[in-house]
Amino acid sequence: MNVRTYDRALTSSPRDLARTAQPRHLHPPVQALILAAGMGTRLGRSTPKPLTPLHDGRTIQRRQLDALRYAFGSDVDITVVVGFSSDLLMQASPDVRFAYNPYYASTNTSKSLWRGLSNIRDGGVLWMNGDVVFDPAVLDHVLASVRADESFVCVDTSTVAEEEVKYTLDEDGYIQELSKNVIGGLGEAVGINYVSADDKPLLIEHLAACGDQDYFERAIETAIALDGLRVRPLDISAFSAVEVDFESDLERANALFWGSSSVLPLAAEVS
């Protein structure tokens, strides 16, 4: 995935603004869901991908949690969907809720999202893939849409890589197609999304109907096509985001955000 080179929080010296700035508080508290059940086989590590350490010493997951609390306040209600090596993930983040996908080895993100959404309270939900390293300013950018309780998919219009999830729009500017197989895509989905309180039951229904190997984007597509779900694309191209699938992605994230492509040793992942 191509990335931008401007991360306001992480280029600030001497400390990360996401750690030091005064957080806001929203009422009712925002609900957030992190999908972290997968085995991460492409990265080739023995521990869950979200526990991969980044150059600043935090893991991918800890950086996501810090960003969520900075953007939405310390009372943000966070649930992490776990599966592979769930004990390590739960030990690393005892300050969040957990949902468990026991079929993590044979199912894809549609089933992890289904389990997560089915096990939290009423209301809209912001969810993200557990392997996305992103500029915390992305969450500031989406705040107005979260407050408005409007379903959206964060997209990057600066790149359209063949292997990534791409999208097209209908005549009203809403998402029409959303998958890796889209032809003529207008950009890429970056793995940060929101479903409104009103739309959540419909999305849960379509997630339940998905095949075990479907990505959650399939449920969004079928809900759009069959039931008229309306999802806005939210352009975050001005900010940085890297989905860490391979070692090269991890090196790119470290180089982008911290000016170094060095990778911390595996032993640091579960310290």
Kindly give the confidence (pLDDT) of every residue in the chain, 271 residues in length, as a single tens digit, with 9 standing for 90 and above.
443 333 333 333 223 434 334 455 666 789 999 999 998 777 767 789 999 999 999 999 999 999 999 999 999 999 999 999 999 999 999 999 999 999 999 999 999 999 999 999 999 999 999 999 999 999 999 999 999 999 999 999 998 888 899 999 999 999 999 999 999 999 999 999 999 999 999 999 999 999 999 999 999 999 999 999 999 999 999 998 988 888 888 888 888 887 754 444 443 333 3
For the residues of 254-270, what is the DSSP string, one character each? HHHHHS------GGGGG
Which residue is it, tokens 């500031």? 140
For the residues of 95-112, what is the DSSP string, one character each? TSEEEE-TTTTT--HHHH
- CA–CA distance, 189 with 26 (Å, rounded to integer): 26
Read off the DSSP letter of residue 160. Answer: -
Give the global pTM: 0.86
Q: Which residue type sits at 206? A: H
